[in-house]
Amino acid sequence: MGLDSVELMIATEEEFRIEISNAEAERIRTVGELADCVTAALRKRGELPDETTVWERVMAIVVAQLGVPPKAVTRTARFIEDLGLD
C-alpha cells in the first residue's frame, strides 16, 4: 500500500471515526467497496447510516485526497486503474 492509499484510508477513518484494518484496506479496489466498508463499520458500531450520505462523504474524501474531478468518482471507479492512486 503506497502513501496515497494510506492517506486515503486515514482520511476516511478520521471522517467517519472508524478503523479499517490493513488487510481490509488491501482488498478495497473500488470507491464503492470503500463506501460499503464504511457502511459496514458504522453498522457494526450500532449505527444506521444513510447510504447516500456515506457515499457523498466518501466521494468528497476521494476527490480531496486524489485531486480527481467529482465526475470521475463512481461506485465502480477503481482506485489504481481509473483514479491513478499510487
Residues 6+ apart with CB under 8 A from 43: 49
The mean per-residue pLDDT over the stretch 2-31 comes to: 95
Extract the C-alpha cell encoding 76.
465502480
pTM of the model: 0.95
C-alpha span between 83 and 48 (Å, rounded): 29
Extract the C-alpha cell encoding 37.
466498508
Alpha carbon distances (Å) from 76 to 3, 4, 17, 48, 56: 22, 19, 24, 24, 15
Domain boundaries, the chain: 3-72
The mean per-residue pLDDT over the stretch 30-57 comes to: 97
Phi, psi torsion values for 3, nearest 5 degrees: -60, -45
pLDDT at 86 over 90: no
